[in-house]
Structure 1
Amino acid sequence: MSPDLGGTTRLEPARLLVDGTEVARYVLDPALDARHGPRPYLHPVRTLGGTVVTDALPADHVWHLGASLAVQDVDGANLWGGRTYVRDVGYTWRDDHGVITHTGEIERTPGRYAHDLQWRDRAGAVLLTERRRLATSAVAPDTWRLDLHSALTAPADRAVHLGSPATNGRPGGAGYGGFFWRAVADGEPAVFTADDAGEDAVNGSAAPWLALAGVGPGGGAYTLVVTGLGRGDRWFVRTAMYPGVCVAFAFDRPAVVPAGETRHGRYRVWVADGTLDRDRAAALVASVP
């Protein structure tokens, strides 16, 4: 625990290590304006060589918080942050921002963290409960892997609907919302799958894996290789406007968590120093059953 400037006791971030090296810090209860979608998030995340590969609170989208889980429309509550996309109106500031909040710690070790969370609307009503587990592991001298497991459960008496700006009428493939990684890059990064390359080709695809290769602060090259699409999920990708990759839950149609049921997500990210090609990215993915 540590006090913030307002005197409130806040939870210490979890430090995730690989062979004694801190590779990620998991912020559990950020002191943020409600409009920024307060939620636990990973930042900074680093390669084993020390290159930072996440961004948080960037000027272009202040509500982008490193690597996190967030959805813009959860039964009408904005848990992503920023303006809400309203059909036939466009992006609008609304008093509809909820919060994803830590409710209990289960495990904290150098390479693992697990906790319970609640996804709440602006009035504090619980929309979803979640159990989340994170783990880090060494893969090679220049590569480590993050595993994040999420189990989102709807209340016993009602289904919960998940939407995005795209499902609420925004054109242009803006189907974001889910497991989102806001990267940091000096210049436009490269993005590719086994069969396609470039933002236009990859955005909205259902490829088994996706890689983002860029240059971080200080000139260090890095590559992220991401897996985790579930049934109905699609990749949301931005490289020109900003560097970001999302396992999108509601890319072109709303998703539903049925009453009393659980939506399971398993996301893996290989964080590598240097620029990987398709063959090396595919080999990383193939190395894990």
Structure 2
Amino acid sequence: MSAEPAAAGGDAAARTGPEQVETAAEEPARLLVGGTEVARYVVDPALDARHGPRPYLHPVRTLGGTLVTDALPADHVWHLGASLAVQDVNGSNLWGGRTYVRDVGYTWRDDHGRIAHTGWSQRLPDRLAHRLEWRDPTGAVLLTERRHLAAVGVTGQGPAGELPAWRLELDYALNAPAGQDVRLGSPATNGRPGGAGYGGFFWRAVSAEPARVFSASATGEEAVNGSAEPWVALVGAGPDGGAYTLVFDGLGDGDRWFVRTAMYPGVGVAFAFARPVTIAAGATRRGRHRVVVADGALDVAAAGALLGSPGDHRLGREAID
């Protein structure tokens, strides 16, 4: 299956704009597990608007220190670690890069909005909560959001015995304005073939060698992309050569997995994989995702066991009601 080409969203074209080096107006927040920093959360990046400015997690590491995220990569500069982003929100591109236009293809347009941090609700070593606004290019608010993140230590069984790891928990509520429906779309819903229904919660991984992806019943990009498997795992190697495994769960109703390994390593929960999704005026779309971050290359049994009980969530939905 073909991945979205860099030329179609275009690293070379992106470099014609302002300097790409990321800076932040506010120091990144940190997430710790047992005193070990496992992730930094950049809440207010100063980026070219065409890169889809939004809060993101990077760098994210295993407890052993292996890097497992990438940000501002040359092939897709707008890929920012682990983040929430959608390419078509009532016609505004909050993903970054070129916009896919039906019967035309990827096109540079002045349609880029941003997802802006507007205030902290909680800021603890292992837990963060804040408020956000999803804005169109004029600054008008498309959606408001409440988001919680937490880092939790977990223990599973790997090939060599007991395996310490940690779990990212992401819980959010997207609220549409009282007077307007909000439509969420993707390149696929705008006419692009090839399983390119990306947009939602997306994790751009880093791997020094070809990554591999699998679920409990399928293996490889072709088989897993677009599926609704209960969980998906990606195995890669960090820049230091250390193997790692990421295990994702948390599809909502109608969501599908978006995965890439051929062009780059990435896993996402796609909101509008095959058809648009509408958040009705005044309504709320809630999401909850977990990602277990482990050292080592795990097999199917070990990856599935790391997730534990599907109901074992530290963050309750009542926390953002």
1:63 equivalent to 2:78? Answer: yes
8 A contact 1:74–1:162 mirrored in 2: yes
How many pairs align? 282
8 A contact 2:175–2:283 mirrored in 1: yes
1:235 equivalent to 2:250? Answer: no
Question: How do residues 120-269 of structure 1 correspond to structure 2 at under 5 angstroms?
Answer: 120-140=135-155, 142-269=164-291
Tell me what 2:293 maps to. 271
- Please state whether the residue corresponding to 1:223 is helix, strand or coil: strand
Tell me what 2:105 maps to. 90
Unpaired runs of 5+ in structure 2?
Answer: 1-22, 156-162, 312-321
8 A contact 2:24–2:44 mirrored in 1: no
**Which of 51, 59, 62 is the matching residue for 2:66?**
51
1-side partners of 2:227 and 2:24: how far apart?
Answer: 43
Tell me what 1:117 maps to. 132
Q: Which amino acid aligns with 1:47?
A: T
Moved over 3 A (4+): none
Q: Which amino acid aligns with 1:97?
A: H
1-side partners of 2:30 and 2:111: how far apart?
Answer: 32
8 A contact 1:14–1:25 mirrored in 2: yes
8 A contact 1:13–1:27 mirrored in 2: yes
Aligned-residue offset at 1:187: 1.9
8 A contact 1:152–1:262 mirrored in 2: yes
State the TM-score, normalizing by the size of structure 1: 0.96
Aligned-residue offset at 1:284: 1.8
**Which of 22, 25, 32 is the matching residue for 2:40?**
25
Residue by residue over 1:110-144, the C-alpha shift from the partner in whole angstroms, topping out at 9 and shown as x without a partner, is 00000000000000000000000000011025310
Unpaired runs of 5+ in structure 1?
Answer: 1-7
2-side partners of 1:259 and 1:13: how far apart?
Answer: 33
Aligned-residue offset at 1:287: 3.5
Tell me what 1:4 maps to. none
Aligned-residue offset at 1:189: 0.7
2-side partners of 1:168 and 1:188: how far apart?
Answer: 30
8 A contact 1:49–1:142 mirrored in 2: no
1:37 equivalent to 2:59? Answer: no
2-side partners of 1:212 and 1:48: how far apart?
Answer: 17
8 A contact 2:24–2:45 mirrored in 1: no
2-side partners of 1:112 and 1:16: how far apart?
Answer: 7
8 A contact 2:87–2:94 mirrored in 1: yes
Aligned-residue offset at 1:235: 0.4
- Please state whether the residue corresponding to 2:46 is helix, strand or coil: coil
8 A contact 2:24–2:46 mirrored in 1: no
1:282 equivalent to 2:312? Answer: no
8 A contact 2:121–2:131 mirrored in 1: yes
State the identity as a percent. Answer: 74
1:76 equivalent to 2:91? Answer: yes
2-side partners of 1:174 and 1:47: how far apart?
Answer: 29
Distance 1:9 1:168, change over 3 A: closer
8 A contact 1:132–1:150 mirrored in 2: yes
Tell me what 2:8 maps to. none
Task: Please identify, of 126-135 and 9-18, the stretch whose mean Cα deviation from structure 2 is larger.
Answer: 9-18
State the TM-score, normalizing by the size of structure 2: 0.86
